[in-house]
Structure 1
Amino acid sequence: MYDFHTHFIPQDVLTWLKDHQKVVNAKWIKKEENKDEFLVVNEKWGFELKTAFTDGNLYIDEQVKAGVTHSLVSPIPQLFMYDFPEEITIDISTVYNTSLANWTKTSPKNLSALGTVPLTNPEKAAQVLQEAMNMGLKGVIIGPGLAHQMLSDAFFTPFFEEANRLKAIVFIHPLLCEDPRLKRRMMPNLIGVPWETTVCATDLLLSGIVDQFPDVKILFAHGGGFLPYQIGRLDKGYDQWELVSSKLKAKPSEYMRRFWYDSVLWNQESLDFLIRTVGEDRVVPGSDYPFDLCVWPPTGKHDTAIRSLLG
């Protein structure tokens, strides 16, 4: 069994955080007696820093116990550092990518990894992507854009050009939604996270980016958010409005089959619907381990999807 959606923080990254604690406003907070410390960076997106996030031996042991034969490990979104000056984002990307590359080489049967890039500078992001893949990483994990730029904007063209040339996996993972209406009852995580993916995925689909960059392997987290459930609405819009159809050569439902999606849905009927909608070769197993809302172990084997994404 594979796991395409899982996160880890190498010790070198923790050391970097402590060395730059004041610069990035990193805090380790003890909230509850029976829980590990929470890590908060720049007053955003705090999470429990469970031992499985940072202990490589424990991580692999838990993977083996769960029956996972191989994990594609990603950096955590809380450490993308897009809010900070470019030199900070470049620095942590370099440390994170090098650390993950070194770790995966110690256990190549169990591990491979994605890197992180300074997305705020697409030219530099392209360079860091190339360096990461030269070290053996399979691609990168990125956020769903920046505060005032969508991933389909020409601003990001240098990054996607390089990802296309390298045939890289680009795993698009949401950051917590900051819609003020959601600041209650854990809604930023419950529905804000898949909503961010929905907006990003819809924009990329309608932009025709997969025709422009056909060799980029775009993988969406959490089953593509709410997009699969509303694809009929997009198809209807394609028939009605030129603003929807102008950059597409087929209906949106056809383009959905040119992306990949993880299985992190916590509901078998939802997962079955996703597979029927996009095809069994487009849904890869994922868990989101070791975050609280993880599906552990991941659901299903999805062999044809694994081959199509890694091939």
Structure 2
Amino acid sequence: MTMLDLHTHVVPARTPFLSRLSSADPRWARLEPAGETGDVLVAGRAFRTVRRVAWDLDVRRAAVETSGRTGQLLSAMPELLAPWAPPDQGLDYARAFNDWLASEIARHHGFFTGLGIVPLRDPDKAAAVLTEIAESGLLGVEVPSTPPIAPLHAPAWAGFLDEAERLGLLVFVHAVGGTAAADYPHPMAANGVVFPANIGMAVGGLISTGALATRPNLHILASHGGGSLMTELPRIDFLRNITPELRELMPESAAESARRIWFDPLLFDVGLVQHLARVVGTERLVFGTDYPFMPGDPIAFLDDPVLPTGFAAAVRATNPAMLLDMLTRPDLLAKGIGK
């Protein structure tokens, strides 16, 4: 059975450029490999120990194929997005990461596809990098749910979203803790609360400001099932119905806009996934596991008999294949842009 995993993460190997960068400023995340595992250091402190599959794509492919998966969309570990980085350094870093990822993916002849990163403290520079991402063969870009400068729905990011739509690139909005996570005594305590809230606010803001409705060809993938988004939609629509100014911002209902978004099913509960599918349609759910960071199988519930026949096959194979097909657009190929 085909299984295309669209929510997976990588950590770049120690290229000369990345090593020089992290030596000059310890805030850059860097990998310290030691045999079959490696420590990821963030701000000079050990953040996470990862297996070799996180950086060695040859080892990763063998492990992924053994698990029955037939392809993966690779994106940076969120801590690599470096929202603190000055624009020029962020630009150099993004280009180095994107070059590394594109070259590694090319060696595997279609088994892997990937998403680039951009300098987050300068939305104009970020928009300019999107053309480079498309030309490299990467299929889109990963951004955090709480970018610096302004939220994704703010005018500062309008040009970035316009360019992503023009190029036919996927924008993967990934939940991060942001500043709110610092108030918790342990990172996992924040993870369980702040991540769902932040991804819900990020995609909810794109809906309630009309940013999605006015960009009908913009491809958005929301991590972790959109987090709190499903609880926001009825409230947004209630307020839209009683607020003329909000109706001017939103030419369509919140539920209609939500059906423009793609979601992974990482909600950890079959009932929540059922509700998500009822609201946005089963066809908007795509297989995503957070590989290789989630232990066990976080979405084993896809095989729960309470789900309708064909649900798991659609999420694991049909839907992600449809999204990937949309991202490899013939009109862009004719112009020499994109994969």
Contact 2:146–2:176 (Cα < 8 Å) also in 1? no
Is the deviation greater in 265-274 or in 176-185? 176-185
Structure 1 residue ranges (4+ consecutive) displaced by more than 6 angstroms after TM superposition: 27-30
Residues 85-144 of structure 1: per-residue CA shift (max 9 Å, x gap)? 112211111111111111111113311111111122222212211111111110111112
**Quick one: distance in 2 between partners of 1:191 and 1:288?**
17
Query: What's the secondary structure of 2:212's corresponding residue?
Result: helix
SS at match of 1:11: coil
**Alpha-carbon distance in 1 for matches of 2:139, 2:63:** 23
For residues 1-311 of structure 1, the aligned pairs below 5 Å read 1-13=3-15, 15-25=16-26, 26=28, 36-42=37-43, 46-179=47-180, 182-184=183-185, 186-242=188-244, 244-292=246-294, 295=297, 299=302, 300-301=312-313, 302=315, 303-310=317-324, 311=326
* CA apart distance, 1:219: 0.7
Question: For structure 1, which segment, 272-281 or 244-253, has the greater mean C-alpha deviation from structure 2 after superposition?
Answer: 244-253
TM-score (norm 2): 0.82
The CA distance in 2 between the partners of 1:233 and 1:12, in whole Å, is: 47
% identical equivalent positions: 26
Q: In 1, are the aligned partners of 2:181 and 2:194 still within 8 Å (CA)?
A: no
Question: Deviations along 1:213-232, whole A, 9 cap, x unmatched?
Answer: 22220110000011113422
The alignment of Structure 1 onto Structure 2 pairs a total of residues equal to: 306
For residue 100 of structure 2, give the secondary structure of its aligned residue in structure 1.
Answer: helix
Q: CA RMSD in A?
A: 2.6
Q: Is the 8 A contact 1:28 1:37 kept in 2?
A: no
Question: Measured at CA, do residues 294 and 168 of structure 1 come closer, stay the same or move farther in structure 2, by a change above 3 Å?
Answer: farther
Q: Is the 8 A contact 1:286 1:295 kept in 2?
A: no
CA distance in 2, matches of 1:297, 1:100: 26
Conservation of the 8 A alpha-carbon contact between 2:121 and 2:148: no
Cα distance change of structure 1 residues 64 and 129 upon mapping to structure 2, 3 Å threshold: same
> How high is the TM-score relative to the length of structure 1?
0.89
The amino acid that maps onto 1:119 is L
Q: For residues 44 and 150 of structure 1, what CA distance do their matches in structure 2 show? A: 28
- Cα 1:148–1:95 change in 2 (3 A) is closer
Q: CA separation in 2, counterparts of 1:181 and 1:117?
A: 24
> What's the CA shift for 1:277?
1.3
Letter in 2 for 1:163: A
Q: Structure 2 unaligned segments of length 5 or more: list them.
A: 303-311, 327-339
Report the Cα distance in structure 2 between the residues aligned to 1:275 and 1:143, rounded to whole angstroms: 24
CA contact (8 A) 1:81 1:88 kept: no
Counterpart residue type for residue 192 of structure 1: V
Partner letter of residue 268 of structure 2? Answer: W
